[in-house]
A and B are shown apart, each in its own frame.
Chain A
Amino acid sequence: MIMKQNNLKLRKLLLLFFIFPYLVISQTSLSGKVIDKNGITVPFANVIEKGTTNGTTTDENGNFTLEVAALPIILEFSSLGYEKLELSVINRTPISVTLQESAESLEEVVVTGLATSGKRSNSANAVATISAEEITGTTPPPTLDGALYGKFAGAVINANSGAPGGGLSVKLRGATSIFGNTEPLYIIDGVYVDNSSIAAGLNVVSAAAGQGSVANQDNPSNRIADINPEDIANIEILKGASAAAIYGSRAAAGVVLITTKKGKAGATKFRFSQSTGWTEALNLLGVRDYTEARVLDGFGENALAAYIEAKNNGRLVNYEDELFGEHGIISITNFTMSGGGEKTKFYAGITHNNENGIVKNTGYEKTSLRLNLENQPADFFRVNLNTNYIYSSSDRGYFNNDNTGTSIGVALTGTTPWLQLFPNGDGVYPDNPAGSSNILQTRDLITNNEKVNRVILGGTANLDIYKSENSGLELILRGGLDFYSLKTVALFPKELQFEKPSNGGVNGVSVQGLVQNKNYNLSAFLVHNFNTANNINFTTQAGLTRENFDLDGQLTTATGLVASESNVDQAANVGVNQTRFKQEDSGFFVQEEVNFNDLAIATLGVRGDKSSNNGDANKLFYFPKASLAININEFGFWGPTTNWSQFKLRAAYGEAGNFPPANALFTSYNAFSTDGILGISLIGIKGDPNLKSERQKEFEFGTDIGFFSGRISFSGTYYKKSVEDLILQAALEPSSGFTTQFVNAGSLENRGLELSLNLVPFKSDNFQWELGVNYFKNKSEITELNVDPFNIGAFGASLGTFRIEEGESATQIVGVTPDGIQKLGDAEPDFQMSFSNNIRYKNLELSFLWQWKKGGDNVNLTTLLSDLNGTSHDYDDFGEDPTGTLPNGPYRTGQLGSNAAPFVQDASYVKLREVGLYYTFTGKTLSNVLGGAIESVKIGASGTNLLSFFDYNSYDPEVSNFGGNSIFTGVDVTPFPSSKRYLFNFIVNF
């Protein structure tokens, strides 16, 4: 058929040959079509006659025509994301070219300055980039940050719990701060987006922050979970100051730059995807092997009678299973359309997630709407507008530590199988005779909900003020707004066992919080490009930045509820708490980049920032950066036939800041009351108005090497980053009236190694295997400490706590031992590795990603709390006692107070993070369906965390009772257990 057509065309051409002889005398017209391996046309691909400047681009349908002087010639085809292809053309037969997607991601563009990007092959920093395919291609991730596991070297990502709706921490290149922010700055299409975790006020019921620890243990989600992963085109990660210096005073913990999808000119494309599946517990611990003797010994005679009775009636209940055994249904629906003409392009998407948790009455719902518009009214002027509206609602249950025995997790440790906790026919729950909470009643009746309405708007205008052959001046204006309101509701109705006044309760608690957050940022840049005659390119940029942050939160706590009202004014006692945070930052940025014909690329820049959060608000602080990249392969040593496709050496240095915590600058009273008399009292923290920001200085160097047109590529980076003027909440003698004081009093250092290897071991038309391996390790050390060593985090030395000490790791864990306080572990992993595989056979595609965390310790108190209640699954097993005399339960409880070692446990794991198996039906198969309107249909099954291996005695080594924004995570106190997800996916493009 095709040949015939070609013949026909040939005949037509011959006809033309006769009709218009003058045309063919001077020129030859070539035409053809460019498609990718799926048969989808590639618009705007470059088609160039090799060795000349003669060229064109393909149109919206992938077609091109090109006039050439004479045949034969060589045509070069290239397009972003595809490998360059050369084709020798000897006749005028219409050409059909299939471009292969680039096997390596080296030709992508990465950020080089606040207003510029450049080829990755010229970048002097190890900027990690994650593509849309990597984010959502294998399996739809639960949240955006949950999609980052194992995808690049240098990040420790940890889920705080398994509660639906997120709650993760991302730490880039080790410990960046002790008391300051440790989470990266997130910027989406130029908008600074808030990633707060805001507590819902559960502490009034849990009293978790009563003894020893004041940190938030409410297990809130973090706000980056609002961002819809499906909308993302790519993510760039600036891991340390050497790359992040361009973001200055708030970039010390790294920057995550997110770019959302854009429309391409051409026919409007539609994409619909539906994922449906379920979530189930990752790992349940099981129930202790009870016998009559054990029950009598541990719980007394009454319990024994109850045990025997329940056993005889077959009424022994596995309450762990009852609580965590749910299969939560997940549904993710996504619809996008994109397209546009030459002047206006658009991308619009809507996503709806509805997920239930592994605990009844928990779940997550999200709707996200996005419209991205790009308009180019004139060649020299381009405007982008990105808009995103998000609604989300998450029901997170009531877990983690408490001091009242009421959190479902803590109460479960005291719930034995012979208890009868189910409601009677009238729906009345019995009180738990053995504890203060009936877990089933708590699960069924409480509400712990977070609702978010959020709008993120970003706009960019690019104006080419001047453009000539070898120079240009561009003005870039950017503005962004992130506005959200967060409504939290924590409702503990009066029917609950622990709310009944007869049980010492306060007759119901309703805590309602409302947080309004508005961030906006503005910037203006001038970028000047200049090419010299001998191919040296100078890129100069200078501009101003301004960021405003304004958060206002009010939390109303009502106790003694009237009837079944949850309205906070229908209550006996009402308290209000307001928290405000405002910050104004302003600064400038200048940078000069010199590119010697891609052989060597040098960059020098500085950012100056002032902030209302500094002691002296209008003082400028400077954050310099410098970098050099040398592309040895471009020097031409190896000749044109070499297999070396890249050999780059690079080095970069940069500085970045980290603000003091908002309350660190002031010594203030807090308001309280006594019998109706108001009063103001210190709360034990001494501020310092002259506190300086922390300053991070990072030097990194490395190499990027590629062989065989990128079928083998390797990237290695070594970095050393030090943090000076470390802000510490140093212990003060409590007799001073203050227990802690904020001071600049130390330095810490991280050294790390990051290696990535990408291989394409097999590559043919039908079969392709891509393999990626990442390895990284980081070692932190407190290099200077001008205050006494102090304990921090967790619950004190008898249970295992973190300790800041000069010469030691920033995350060492110490505890009491028979020989005094000793180092018992370190939260920092020895190393992490990930293995990603993508295997394609014809239209069948299998991808999977393994992540291995080696080493790193947790403080596991879940097991201890179960031991103390005699309920741990391994209570009667042996193995923990080195002398072999005591079973595990008695041994562990016996060590309490004299030895914390049993509670500090290795939290290594290997997890199959993502796996997906898909089959794609392409245009050919579908040509008879709906008149061929369907371009492709992809169906498959996928999963998250389907396999996990660890030797850790709790639900999951990935846990944090105290949330994410600190380096002292990994404390395990009866969390919401982690889960795995199974999904069936259906995607259609038309």
Chain B
Amino acid sequence: MKINKKIHKIGFLLCTMLLLASCEVQEFSDLNNPEVDGFETGLTRGDLQDLVGGILYSSRINLGTYYDDCGVLGREWWRFSSSDPRFTTDLLGKGDAQLDNNTFYITNPWSARYRTVKNANLILGFLDGQDLSAQFTNAEVTATKGLLKTFIAYELLLNLNLTDVNGIRLDVTDPNNLGPFVTKAEALAGIRSLLVEGASDLANGGDEFPFVLSSGFSGFDTPDTFLKANRAISARVAAYQADFPAVLSFLSQSFFTLNANDLNTGIYYVFSEDQTDLLNPMFFIVDATTANARIMYPSFVPDAEPGDTRLNKVALRTEPLTLDGLTGDYSVFLYKTNTDPIAIIRNEELILLYAEANITINPTETVNALNMIRQSAGLGPYTGPTDSASLIDEMLNQRRYSLYAEGHRWVDMRRYNRLGQVADPAFERPEDDVFSLFPIPLTENQ
């Protein structure tokens, strides 16, 4: 027994010693990625470049789905995907199908746009939260803010386009205390004032951004030139508000030129085959299979005036393609390679905005501008009546062909209450529906 007691004591002592000497474990930070907190102090010029580079990247995520949403609902094309049937069921309202509030076609683009907003808001926070005088001039900081605000406004606008009168959240800086959903009118006003704020920052932003932008912003890569892009977006927003004097005023400060040979000046999303980059999601080959294809809505070609060169945006397939009871002969072929840039906003739209704004202000200018567009498309001058209703018809028709597959048709027809006209019964399945807006994603808890 005595020996046992000793053993017990020795054992106990050994255990205690081992426990006390027990190894420390090392604490690791994120081994794979930079943590957000890391930028809250000591932000460098290199950091800012990377952070702004992130905006350029994330603003392009899920763009393909955004364009498909607008294009399929607006009957510009059908999206075939043999591995995801919901493109031809939900989006076209096949049978009893309704748009779901928790499916990729709304959740993915919606969250991608807000992610860019968050990326931008975080940078705004980093800029405001620390003394940057050693790294940046005040003008550089201001110019950066102007660029970020413009991006935020544009991203919000794209989401509003999807949910329309269901509205969006404007104030999303604090993830734990998000602002309310606001009405469409409030949203447009908020987006516009953010753009105006951004414009004022850009105007006071000196000569250079403290970072480089992608080639999609070539010609718009200094604060004063980027300001012109900001104004162009503002003009679109004002048109959505039907505030036509403001449209003209914004256009005058933008890169707008009434020149048929300069339709493509503007800012662009650009793509590359680099592994960490994105490819143009709107590119499919002409003879794409049901695996993934964009088939032109069959009314697009017959509805066009003879000789309209803008029909080069679609291409006749070798064979028609059928899926889910839909058959088409033409594929959407706006982009010829998978690295073609996609316009954010370009002069052709500005000319059409100019035409639209002038319908009530100066119809002669409307006809001038429309003729310029018609001429560029190989068509003769407009010969129809010049009353407002007729000019709106013609303006919407020119927008249909000039801005085909750029995400406008559905939005345009909706703002003129003409969604009933987008579908051609000859090409619709019996119970297909044209939806006017997407539900707010389920997880917004509305």
Contact = CB atoms under 8 A, between A and B. Distances in A.
Contacts of B54: 669, 672, 679-682
B23 A436 contact: no
Contacts of A473: 7, 10-11
A736 B178 contact: yes
A760 interface: no
Contacts of A302: 319
Contacts of B273: 506, 559-560, 572-573
B53 A739 contact: no
A816 interface: yes
B51 interface: yes
B271 A675 contact: yes
A751 B261 CA distance: 74
Given A573-B275, A733-B443, A739-B111, A530 B4 contact: yes
B194 to A, nearest CB: 15
Interface string A787-816: 010110000111000000000000000001
A544 B82 contact: no
Contacts of B36: 667-669, 682
Contacts of A587: 22
A546 B23 contact: yes
A864 interface: yes
A949 interface: no
Contacts of B441: 734
Contact of A732 (B26, B52, B100, B175): B175
B169 interface: yes
Contacts of A674: 53, 56-57, 60, 214, 270, 272, 277-278
B33 A733 contact: no
A504 B214 contact: no
B383 interface: no
A503 B318 CA distance: 13
Contacts of A612: 25-28
Interface string A765-784: 00000000000000000000
Interface stretch (B117-125, B202-210, B303-311, B356-364): B117-125
Most buried by B among A544, A667, A731, A737: A737
Given A211-B84, A300-B327, A542-B15, A796 B172 contact: no
A893 interface: yes
Contacts of A320: none
Contacts of B49: 677-678
Interface stretch (B126-134, B280-288, B365-373, B388-396): B280-288
A679 B278 CA distance: 12
Interface in B307-346: 319-320, 322-324, 327, 338
Given A573-B274, A897-B97, A666 B90 contact: no
A336 B215 CA distance: 67
Contact of B284 (A504, A524, A544, A611): A504
A474 B171 CA distance: 67
A433 interface: yes
A169 interface: no
A410 interface: yes
A693 to B, nearest CB: 14
A216 B234 CA distance: 42
Most buried by A among B30, B36, B276: B276
B443 A679 contact: no
Contacts of A413: 82
Contacts of A546: 23
A337 interface: no
B7 to A, nearest CB: 5
A584 interface: yes
A738 to B, nearest CB: 6
A572 B31 CA distance: 29
A468 B5 CA distance: 13
B137 interface: no
A471 B84 contact: no
B102 A796 contact: yes
A578 interface: yes
B128 to A, nearest CB: 17
Interface string A636-653: 000000000000000000
Interface in B21-41: 22-37
Contacts of B58: 672, 679, 681-682
Given A673-B277, A674-B214, A681-B58, A582 B96 contact: no
Most buried by B among A572, A584, A673: A673
Given A797-B103, A816-B100, A433 B33 contact: no
Tier of interface size on chain B: 35 or more
Contacts of B30: 663, 665-666, 668
B212 interface: yes
A406 B111 contact: no
B108 A868 contact: no
B292 A671 contact: no
Interface in A245-274: none
Interface stretch (A26-34, A61-69, A132-140, A396-404): A396-404
A833 B4 CA distance: 50
Nearest to A433: B319
A358 interface: no
B387 interface: no
Contacts of B289: 405, 414, 432, 434-436
B288 A675 contact: no
B426 interface: no
A299 B33 CA distance: 49
A818 B96 contact: yes
Contact of B53 (A468, A590, A673): A673
B189 interface: no
Interface string A492-531: 0000000000111010000000000000000010101010
B283 A893 contact: no
Nearest to A898: B96
B292 A436 contact: yes
Interface in A383-436: 401-406, 410-411, 413-414, 432-436
A869 interface: yes
A365 to B, nearest CB: 31
A738 B81 contact: no
Contacts of A204: 275
Most buried by A among B22, B272, B441: B22
Contacts of A898: 95-98
Contact of B119 (A299, A432, A582, A737): A737
Contact of B444 (A676, A733, A790, A893): A733
A526 to B, nearest CB: 5
Contacts of B445: 733, 788
B172 A737 contact: yes
A499 to B, nearest CB: 13
Contacts of B292: 403-405, 436
Contacts of A580: 31-32
A686 B94 contact: no
A796 B105 CA distance: 11
Contacts of B27: 612, 617-618
B396 to A, nearest CB: 30
A536 to B, nearest CB: 13
A587 B18 CA distance: 10
Interface of A: 204, 211-212, 299-300, 302, 401-406, 410-411, 413-414, 432-437, 466, 468, 471, 473, 502-504, 506, 524, 526, 528, 530, 540, 542-544, 546, 557-560, 572-576, 578-588, 590, 610-612, 617-618, 663, 665-684, 686, 731-739, 788, 790-791, 796-798, 816, 818, 864-865, 868-869, 893-894, 896-898
5 contacts: A543-B18, A581-B31, A681-B55, A732-B175, A739-B111
Given A618-B27, A668-B36, A674-B53, 10 more contacts: A212-B107, A544-B19, A588-B19, A663-B32, A672-B58, A674-B56, A676-B214, A679-B53, A682-B54, A732-B175
Q: Which 9 pairs from chain A and chain B are nearest by CB?
A: A575-B275, A737-B118, A405-B291, A679-B53, A897-B97, A734-B111, A736-B175, A668-B33, A681-B54
